[in-house]
């Protein structure tokens, strides 16, 4: 992305408070790096975000004017574009992170969050309860992202579970996928919300349609009998 393309977003930033920007850790970075879509640049910016004193404020303010129909660029508040789109989907469900608490979790429980990096945010939230901490899964998810975890909503397979990811979506996540679909969320954004590939959600949805057709056929046969 060129600097010219980035300039298109500047007018929107005038509508929000600016004082925090002077303290941002990314001030020394070039705009093309901050809003790059390359993995190397994004990692460089996220490294700067880890020690940024205004990370939460940056995330709150910038995402406030990122529009659903516009492409989301670069790293903001330590989060990648797909992570911010996942937060937008959480908001559709009425789930909003407490960024102040996420900041505290990162500082006080960062080592534990890294230790639990393969767990889902809901599982980590339950683990934190054992330490006397009550936090919503979406708040925990942000804290996990800030400490470098994927924080997917579908945990890696374990034990004797040999199902593929799309099969686990089929078996365990139909309700939320159909709810989000009914609310107008795209399949791609649903996939990013779950932390999986778009094709895996597509396969699960196709399985549900096949299942529904079989159920309808059986119901018709029963009525005919």
Q: What is the pLDDT of residues 59-73, one digit of tens each?
A: 999 888 877 656 778
From the list 121, 151, 149, 147, the residue with the least C-alpha distance to 136 is: 121
Q: What whole-number distance in Å separates Cα of residue 102 and Cα of residue 98?
A: 6
Half-sphere exposure for 168 (CA within 13 Å, toward CB): 15
pLDDT of amino acid 224: 63
pLDDT, tens digit, for every residue of 18-49?
578 889 998 888 888 988 889 999 999 999 99
pLDDT of amino acid 68: 63
As beta bridge partners, residue 79 has: 76
- Which residues of the chain fall below pLDDT 50? 1-16
The three-class DSSP label of residue 79 is: strand
pLDDT of amino acid 2: 41
Q: What whole-number distance in Å separates Cα of residue 5 and Cα of residue 25?
A: 22
Percentage of the chain exceeding pLDDT 70: 88
pTM across the whole model: 0.86
Question: Are 73 and 35 contacting, i.e. CB atoms less than 8 angstroms apart?
Answer: yes
Q: Which two tokens stand for residue 1?
A: 């992305």
Q: What whole-number distance in Å separates Cα of residue 144 and Cα of residue 135?
A: 12
């Amino acid at each position: 992305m060129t600097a010219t393309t980035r300039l298109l977003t500047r007018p929107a930033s005038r509508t929000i408070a600016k004082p925090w920007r002077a303290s941002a850790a990314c001030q020394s970075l070039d705009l093309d790096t901050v809003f790059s879509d390359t993995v190397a640049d994004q990692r460089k910016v996220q490294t700067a975000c880890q020690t940024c004193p205004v990370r939460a404020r940056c995330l709150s303010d910038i995402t406030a004017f990122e529009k659903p129909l516009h492409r989301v660029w670069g790293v903001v508040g330590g989060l990648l574009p797909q992570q911010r789109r996942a937060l937008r989907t959480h908001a559709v469900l009425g789930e909003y992170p407490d960024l102040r608490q996420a900041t505290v979790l990162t500082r006080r429980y960062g080592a534990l969050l890294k230790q639990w990096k393969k767990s889902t945010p809901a599982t980590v939230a339950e683990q934190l309860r054992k330490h006397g901490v009550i936090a919503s899964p979406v708040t925990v998810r942000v804290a996990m992202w800030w400490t470098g975890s994927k924080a997917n909503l579908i945990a890696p397979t374990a034990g004797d579970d040999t199902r593929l990811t799309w099969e686990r979506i089929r078996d365990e996540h139909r309700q939320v996928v159909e709810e989000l679909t009914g609310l107008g969320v795209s399949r791609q954004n649903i996939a990013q919300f779950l932390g999986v590939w778009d094709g895996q959600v597509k396969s699960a949805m196709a399985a549900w349609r096949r299942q529904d057709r079989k159920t309808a056929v059986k119901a018709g046969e029963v009525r005919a009998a």
